[in-house]
Amino acid sequence: MEDGLPITLAPTSSTCPRCQALHNGRFYGPCEQCRQQLQETMGAAARHIEVAEYVPKMNVTPNAVATKDD
């Protein structure tokens, strides 16, 4: 790197934002126990949701030049 800061993905010690327990992980976030608890209580299977087709709103009326037949 040019800025002199090496990037490492080695586990580092951090505090869990939910339970404030120290844990080792590659990234900042909840510990393994909190992550498992979140998946059990908040997790849901992915599903496809039908959404109405987007139709742009016509805010401007075409002028005579735009609608002129050649």
Residue-averaged pLDDT of the chain: 83
Q: In the prediction, which pLDDT does 70 show?
A: 58
Dihedral sign (CA 22, 28, 29, 35): negative
Instruction: Give the residue extent of every domain in the chain.
Output: 12-63
What is this structure's pTM? 0.51
Confidence of residue 34 (pLDDT cuts 50, 70, 90): very high
Phi then psi dihedrals of residue 14, to 5 deg: -145, 170
